[in-house]
Protein backbone atom coordinates (compact mmCIF):
# COMPACT_ATOMS: atom_id res chain seq x y z
CA UNK A 1 0.00 0.00 0.00
CA UNK A 2 1.06 3.57 -0.71
CA UNK A 3 -0.09 6.00 1.94
CA UNK A 4 0.09 9.80 2.04
CA UNK A 5 -0.55 11.18 5.50
CA UNK A 6 -1.27 14.83 6.30
CA UNK A 7 0.93 16.03 3.43
CA UNK A 8 1.40 19.76 3.09
CA UNK A 9 3.51 21.61 0.57
CA UNK A 10 4.06 25.32 0.11
CA UNK A 11 5.77 27.07 -2.78
CA UNK A 12 6.83 30.66 -3.24
CA UNK A 13 4.03 32.59 -4.85
CA UNK A 14 4.35 35.45 -7.36
CA UNK A 15 4.06 37.99 -4.55
CA UNK A 16 6.93 36.43 -2.62
CA UNK A 17 4.48 34.97 -0.10
CA UNK A 18 4.20 31.24 0.48
CA UNK A 19 1.35 29.56 -1.41
CA UNK A 20 0.03 26.27 -0.08
CA UNK A 21 -0.54 23.90 -2.98
CA UNK A 22 -1.07 20.66 -1.02
CA UNK A 23 -3.11 21.08 2.16
CA UNK A 24 -3.13 18.24 4.66
CA UNK A 25 -3.64 15.54 2.04
CA UNK A 26 -4.53 12.01 3.15
CA UNK A 27 -4.66 9.29 0.50
CA UNK A 28 -4.26 5.54 0.35
CA UNK A 29 -3.57 3.47 -2.75
CA UNK A 30 -3.95 -0.29 -2.68
CA UNK A 31 -2.21 -2.95 -4.71
CA UNK A 32 -4.10 -4.37 -7.65
CA UNK A 33 -5.95 -1.15 -8.46
CA UNK A 34 -5.74 1.55 -11.07
CA UNK A 35 -6.40 5.04 -9.71
CA UNK A 36 -7.15 8.17 -11.67
CA UNK A 37 -6.32 11.61 -10.38
CA UNK A 38 -8.21 14.34 -12.16
CA UNK A 39 -9.32 17.89 -11.53
CA UNK A 40 -8.73 21.42 -12.76
CA UNK A 41 -5.34 22.81 -13.76
CA UNK A 42 -3.24 24.01 -10.88
CA UNK A 43 -5.14 21.87 -8.40
CA UNK A 44 -2.10 19.91 -7.23
CA UNK A 45 -2.27 16.68 -9.29
CA UNK A 46 1.30 16.75 -10.62
CA UNK A 47 2.56 17.93 -7.23
CA UNK A 48 1.17 14.76 -5.64
CA UNK A 49 2.99 12.63 -8.23
CA UNK A 50 6.24 14.52 -7.65
CA UNK A 51 5.88 14.20 -3.88
CA UNK A 52 5.53 10.44 -4.23
CA UNK A 53 8.55 10.24 -6.55
CA UNK A 54 10.60 12.45 -4.22
CA UNK A 55 11.05 15.26 -6.73
CA UNK A 56 9.18 17.61 -4.37
CA UNK A 57 9.65 17.59 -0.60
CA UNK A 58 6.67 18.16 1.66
CA UNK A 59 6.76 20.81 4.36
CA UNK A 60 5.06 18.36 6.65
CA UNK A 61 3.41 14.96 6.57
CA UNK A 62 4.52 11.45 5.76
CA UNK A 63 4.65 9.05 2.84
CA UNK A 64 4.69 5.28 3.40
CA UNK A 65 5.22 2.44 0.94
CA UNK A 66 4.27 -0.96 2.35
CA UNK A 67 4.60 0.42 5.89
CA UNK A 68 8.11 1.80 5.28
CA UNK A 69 8.37 5.56 5.62
CA UNK A 70 9.92 6.95 2.46
CA UNK A 71 9.30 10.68 3.09
CA UNK A 72 12.99 11.50 3.34
CA UNK A 73 14.34 9.08 0.75
CA UNK A 74 16.03 10.43 -2.39
CA UNK A 75 14.50 10.08 -5.85
CA UNK A 76 16.82 7.22 -6.76
CA UNK A 77 16.19 5.39 -3.50
CA UNK A 78 12.47 5.58 -4.18
CA UNK A 79 13.10 4.29 -7.71
CA UNK A 80 14.92 1.32 -6.14
CA UNK A 81 11.93 0.77 -3.83
CA UNK A 82 9.82 0.32 -6.97
CA UNK A 83 8.29 3.73 -7.67
CA UNK A 84 8.37 5.06 -11.21
CA UNK A 85 6.97 8.18 -12.83
CA UNK A 86 6.21 9.00 -16.46
CA UNK A 87 6.78 12.73 -16.83
CA UNK A 88 4.17 14.96 -18.38
CA UNK A 89 6.90 16.67 -20.41
CA UNK A 90 9.92 14.39 -20.45
CA UNK A 91 13.31 16.07 -20.93
CA UNK A 92 15.43 15.57 -24.02
CA UNK A 93 19.02 14.32 -24.02
CA UNK A 94 21.68 14.88 -26.67
CA UNK A 95 23.64 11.74 -27.42
CA UNK A 96 21.50 9.29 -25.46
CA UNK A 97 19.51 6.91 -27.63
CA UNK A 98 16.09 5.43 -26.91
CA UNK A 99 17.83 2.08 -26.41
CA UNK A 100 20.15 3.69 -23.82
CA UNK A 101 17.20 5.10 -21.91
CA UNK A 102 15.24 1.85 -21.82
CA UNK A 103 18.37 0.00 -20.69
CA UNK A 104 18.82 2.53 -17.89
CA UNK A 105 15.15 2.09 -16.98
CA UNK A 106 15.56 -1.66 -16.85
CA UNK A 107 19.18 -2.82 -16.59
CA UNK A 108 19.77 -6.20 -18.18
CA UNK A 109 16.65 -6.07 -20.36
CA UNK A 110 16.94 -8.59 -23.20
CA UNK A 111 16.50 -7.69 -26.85
CA UNK A 112 13.09 -9.34 -27.06
CA UNK A 113 11.68 -7.34 -24.16
CA UNK A 114 13.38 -4.16 -25.40
CA UNK A 115 11.77 -4.44 -28.80
CA UNK A 116 8.47 -5.43 -27.21
CA UNK A 117 8.50 -2.26 -25.10
CA UNK A 118 8.90 -0.21 -28.27
CA UNK A 119 6.15 -2.02 -30.14
CA UNK A 120 3.79 -1.61 -27.17
CA UNK A 121 3.87 2.14 -27.67
CA UNK A 122 3.63 1.91 -31.44
CA UNK A 123 7.26 2.68 -32.28
CA UNK A 124 9.10 0.43 -34.71
CA UNK A 125 12.26 -0.76 -32.90
CA UNK A 126 14.31 -0.92 -36.08
CA UNK A 127 13.68 2.75 -36.77
CA UNK A 128 13.65 4.17 -33.28
CA UNK A 129 16.01 2.33 -30.90
CA UNK A 130 19.10 4.02 -32.33
CA UNK A 131 17.60 7.51 -32.36
CA UNK A 132 18.58 10.13 -29.82
CA UNK A 133 16.05 11.11 -27.17
CA UNK A 134 16.76 14.60 -28.45
CA UNK A 135 15.42 17.42 -30.55
CA UNK A 136 14.80 15.09 -33.52
CA UNK A 137 11.78 13.48 -31.83
CA UNK A 138 8.34 15.09 -31.89
CA UNK A 139 6.44 15.74 -28.66
CA UNK A 140 4.24 12.72 -29.29
CA UNK A 141 7.23 10.46 -29.95
CA UNK A 142 8.89 11.71 -26.76
CA UNK A 143 5.75 10.82 -24.82
CA UNK A 144 5.65 7.32 -26.25
CA UNK A 145 9.33 6.78 -25.43
CA UNK A 146 8.66 7.97 -21.88
CA UNK A 147 5.83 5.49 -21.49
CA UNK A 148 7.97 2.68 -22.97
CA UNK A 149 10.64 3.34 -20.30
CA UNK A 150 8.14 3.28 -17.48
CA UNK A 151 6.42 0.14 -18.74
CA UNK A 152 9.81 -1.58 -19.02
CA UNK A 153 10.49 -1.03 -15.32
CA UNK A 154 7.73 -3.35 -14.05
CA UNK A 155 7.50 -1.17 -10.96
CA UNK A 156 5.43 -1.61 -7.81
CA UNK A 157 4.02 1.91 -8.10
CA UNK A 158 3.64 3.37 -11.57
CA UNK A 159 2.52 6.97 -12.01
CA UNK A 160 1.56 8.36 -15.39
CA UNK A 161 1.20 12.13 -15.71
CA UNK A 162 -1.30 12.88 -18.47
CA UNK A 163 -0.15 10.06 -20.76
CA UNK A 164 -2.71 11.18 -23.33
CA UNK A 165 -1.26 14.68 -23.79
CA UNK A 166 0.45 15.12 -27.13
CA UNK A 167 -0.24 11.55 -28.24
CA UNK A 168 -2.38 10.84 -31.30
CA UNK A 169 -5.78 9.20 -30.95
CA UNK A 170 -4.68 5.83 -32.32
CA UNK A 171 -1.88 5.67 -29.79
CA UNK A 172 -4.17 6.72 -26.94
CA UNK A 173 -6.49 3.83 -27.72
CA UNK A 174 -3.54 1.45 -27.93
CA UNK A 175 -2.10 2.86 -24.74
CA UNK A 176 -5.36 2.35 -22.89
CA UNK A 177 -5.31 -1.29 -23.99
CA UNK A 178 -1.74 -1.68 -22.71
CA UNK A 179 -2.54 -0.04 -19.37
CA UNK A 180 -5.59 -2.23 -18.98
CA UNK A 181 -3.81 -5.48 -19.85
CA UNK A 182 -0.71 -4.74 -17.82
CA UNK A 183 -2.19 -3.18 -14.70
CA UNK A 184 -5.87 -4.13 -14.35
CA UNK A 185 -6.23 -6.57 -11.48
CA UNK A 186 -2.45 -6.96 -11.28
CA UNK A 187 -2.06 -7.91 -7.62
CA UNK A 188 1.53 -6.66 -7.47
CA UNK A 189 1.13 -3.13 -8.75
CA UNK A 190 -0.38 0.19 -7.81
CA UNK A 191 -1.12 2.35 -10.85
CA UNK A 192 -1.89 6.05 -10.65
CA UNK A 193 -2.86 7.94 -13.78
CA UNK A 194 -3.24 11.70 -13.82
CA UNK A 195 -5.68 12.22 -16.65
CA UNK A 196 -8.53 14.16 -18.17
CA UNK A 197 -9.28 11.48 -20.74
CA UNK A 198 -12.63 9.83 -20.34
CA UNK A 199 -11.56 6.58 -21.95
CA UNK A 200 -8.69 6.29 -19.49
CA UNK A 201 -11.07 7.08 -16.63
CA UNK A 202 -13.20 4.13 -17.76
CA UNK A 203 -10.47 1.60 -16.95
CA UNK A 204 -9.73 3.05 -13.49
CA UNK A 205 -11.08 1.44 -10.34
CA UNK A 206 -11.25 4.70 -8.46
CA UNK A 207 -11.14 8.37 -9.35
CA UNK A 208 -9.90 11.15 -7.12
CA UNK A 209 -10.74 14.75 -7.90
CA UNK A 210 -8.03 17.05 -6.65
CA UNK A 211 -8.68 20.76 -6.33
CA UNK A 212 -6.90 23.41 -4.27
CA UNK A 213 -4.51 20.80 -2.94
CA UNK A 214 -7.24 18.65 -1.43
CA UNK A 215 -9.35 15.65 -2.39
CA UNK A 216 -12.71 17.12 -3.38
CA UNK A 217 -14.31 13.81 -4.31
CA UNK A 218 -13.40 10.17 -4.52
CA UNK A 219 -15.26 7.19 -5.94
CA UNK A 220 -15.97 5.14 -9.02
CA UNK A 221 -16.52 6.89 -12.32
CA UNK A 222 -20.25 6.42 -12.06
CA UNK A 223 -20.32 7.87 -8.57
CA UNK A 224 -18.52 11.09 -9.37
CA UNK A 225 -19.10 11.61 -13.08
CA UNK A 226 -21.51 14.48 -12.43
CA UNK A 227 -18.66 16.37 -10.73
CA UNK A 228 -16.09 15.99 -13.48
CA UNK A 229 -18.18 15.75 -16.66
CA UNK A 230 -17.78 19.36 -17.74
CA UNK A 231 -14.06 19.42 -17.07
CA UNK A 232 -13.35 16.13 -18.83
CA UNK A 233 -15.47 16.99 -21.86
CA UNK A 234 -13.78 20.36 -22.14
CA UNK A 235 -10.34 18.71 -22.12
CA UNK A 236 -11.48 16.03 -24.57
CA UNK A 237 -12.65 18.73 -26.97
CA UNK A 238 -9.31 20.47 -26.64
CA UNK A 239 -7.44 17.28 -27.41
CA UNK A 240 -9.73 15.40 -29.76
CA UNK A 241 -12.30 17.80 -31.21
CA UNK A 242 -16.09 17.91 -31.02
CA UNK A 243 -16.76 14.39 -32.26
CA UNK A 244 -15.25 12.64 -29.29
CA UNK A 245 -17.47 13.45 -26.37
CA UNK A 246 -18.95 10.50 -24.61
CA UNK A 247 -22.25 9.72 -22.97
CA UNK A 248 -21.95 7.95 -19.70
Partner 1 sequence: MKFDNLSLDLLNTISNLTEIPDGAANIRVDGQAVVRSSSANVTITPREDGQGFILEVKPGTIGETVHVPVLITQTGLQETVANTFIIGENSDIIIIAGCGIHNPSHSDSRHDGVHEFIVKPGARLKYIEKHYGQGQGKGKRIMNPTTKINLQSGASAEMEMTQIKGVDDTVRLTTAHIEDKASLKIVERLMTDGEQAAESDVQLNIVGRGGSGQILSRSVARDKSIQVFRAALVGRVECTGHVECDSIIMDNARISSIPELVAEDSEAVLTHEAAIGKIAGEQLIKLMSLGLTEQEAIDVILDGFLR
Contact window for partner 1 (CB under 8 A) among 36-44, 101-109, 181-189, 197-205: 101-109
Q: How many CA atoms lie within 13 A of 197 on its CB side?
A: 23
Among 202, 233, 234, 238, which residue's Cα sits nearest to residue 220? 202
Q: Are 158 and 190 in contact (CB under 8 A)?
A: yes
Interface with partner 1, residue 87, by CB under 8 A: yes
* Cα-only R_g, the chain: 18
Burial class (CB in 10 A: 0-12, 13-18, 19+), 124: exposed
Task: Pick the closer one to partner 1 by CB: 16 or 95.
Answer: 95
Interface with partner 1, residue 95, by CB under 8 A: yes
| Alpha-carbon span 94 to 222, nearest angstrom | 45
Interface with partner 1, residue 72, by CB under 8 A: no
| Alpha-carbon span 127 to 131, nearest angstrom | 8
Contact window for partner 1 (CB under 8 A) among 1-9, 85-93, 113-121, 174-182: 85-93
The single residue among 17, 94, 126, 230 that binds partner 1, judged by CB under 8 A, is: 94
| Alpha-carbon span 67 to 65, nearest angstrom | 5
Interface with partner 1, residue 160, by CB under 8 A: no
CB of 105 to partner 1, least distance (A): 5
Per-position x/- string for 194-223, each x denoting binding to partner 1 as judged by CB under 8 A, each - no binding: ------------------------------
Q: Are 61 and 25 in contact (CB under 8 A)?
A: yes
Task: Pick the closer one to partner 1 by CB: 132 or 168.
Answer: 132
Interface with partner 1, residue 55, by CB under 8 A: yes
Q: Which residues bind partner 1 (CB under 8 A)?
A: 53, 55, 74-76, 79-80, 84-85, 87, 90-91, 93-96, 100-101, 104-105, 107, 149, 153
Amino acid sequence: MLKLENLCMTVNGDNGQGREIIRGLNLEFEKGKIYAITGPNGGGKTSIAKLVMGIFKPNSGHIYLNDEEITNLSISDRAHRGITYAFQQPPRFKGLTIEDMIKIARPGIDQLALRGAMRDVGLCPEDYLVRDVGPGLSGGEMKRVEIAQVLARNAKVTIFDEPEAGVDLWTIQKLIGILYNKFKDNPESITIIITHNENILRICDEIMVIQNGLVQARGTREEIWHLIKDDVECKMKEQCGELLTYEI
